[in-house]
Structure 1
């Protein structure tokens, strides 16, 4: 049986995506041949230019506590005190994830998680090249090559293509995990799930995908007759 193709629509500055990363890593480790996972940077707040007011930072930090309770991940809640007037532009971090993916296409999830740990757990600025390079070094990517890839125009083009795909498909909630068969998408989850619940969703979606595939094959056989 062919591996089920999964599309993961995410954003490196999405706290629920940070919470979901260990779940997806566990899925990948338990079933390396059962699923193929492609990460797509969906654009949570692309090209934001407005400084965040203090009350919004407090609201987001409160939201992080829910993620921490659900996922058990570490957070440094002093981030918005450390960066007053922070501009929550997710485009540069998305570009960094794509740059890492272009260097080694199996490392996008690991790179995003490393960058998220610097942001959420260590209160480092997730919009600047210095942080992106530190994340690259953290997963043993060549930092100079990463910098060149980050600055390459094709990387930006891929990022914009990812944003456009998410918009076209109407995916504005992250994390969103879909299964794909041919040109048809099957939603596995829109939002965080613990591992056991994700396994059950994938089992049901897998049955749906394979049932649709069998029906299509039978229809084609009937046409041939």
Structure 2
């Protein structure tokens, strides 16, 4: 069995789920985790953040319900409403980090969300991935090169397709996959204890 976590790095609810994901991974170190980027802000939805009038209210709800932090850097970044969230660029970044350190994909993806939602660094900027890599003790040049490569673009597109094939309706979604069996464990928000209860039920079937 493995876990599949479908998320979008520009999704506030995914940011709110990060502590749960980190705790689940910590509790189950032998359980593989596949990180799948979603395409929340692509195509016609790749517009200035001011077009999404609900963002600030949604963030307040997320902070209240999950304890997620939305930092001053993030607030400054989006203050004038011109910032464009590009999920394709974010997915390329996730793919680059995953390529360089596949065993740390969950840790690095949640770090990526922190660097946007707390520090306010754009996930379209290669310098952001350099910082994430350096903070994690990775080869920063390799991560940046991977981010800028055609392979990252293909990996992002493959992630979007996989999310659709898995039937993901929104982000974040945590699934358990055992052979042909796909079991939803969490959607939107959940505690690590709630996920654990589901995993225990699966293991005793």
Aligned residue in 1 for 2:78: 80
**1 CA distance for matches of 2:38 and 2:45?**
18
Spell out, residue by residue over 1:80-130, the C-alpha distance to the aligned partner (whole angstroms, 9 max, x if none).
215x32222111011111111111101211221222112111222222212
User: 1:75 & 1:66 partners in 2: Cα distance?
Assistant: 11
The match for 2:35 is 39
CA 1:22–1:152 in structure 2 vs 1: closer, same or farther (change >3 Å)?
same
TM-score (norm. length: structure 2): 0.89
Q: What residue in structure 1 maps to residue 145 of structure 2?
A: 148
- Classify 1:136/1:36 alpha carbon distance in 2 versus 1 (closer, same or farther; 3 Å): same
Q: Which has the higher contact order (CA 8 A, sep 6+)?
A: 2
**C-alpha root-mean-square deviation of aligned residues, in Å?**
1.9
Give the Cα separation in 1 of the matches to 2:145 and 2:17: 29
**Does structure 1 residue 163 correspond to structure 2 residue 163?**
no
> TM-score, normalized by length of structure 1?
0.81
**C-alpha distance in 2 between matches for 1:47 and 1:119:** 21
**Structure-2 residue corresponding to 1:51:** 47
Q: Note if 1:65 corresponds to 2:60.
A: yes
Instruction: Tell me which structure has the larger Cα radius of gyration.
Output: 1
Helix, strand or coil at the partner of 1:187: strand
Q: Gaps spanning 5+ residues in structure 2: where? A: none
1:43 counterpart SS class: coil
What runs of 5+ residues in structure 1 fail to find an aligned partner?
Answer: 212-225
Is the contact between residue 48 and residue 90 of structure 1 (CA under 8 Å) also seen in structure 2? Answer: no
Number of aligned pairs?
Answer: 202
Q: Is the 8 A contact 1:11 1:42 kept in 2?
A: yes
Match of 2:182 among 180, 185, 201: 185
Q: Which residue of 2 aligns with 1:29?
A: 26
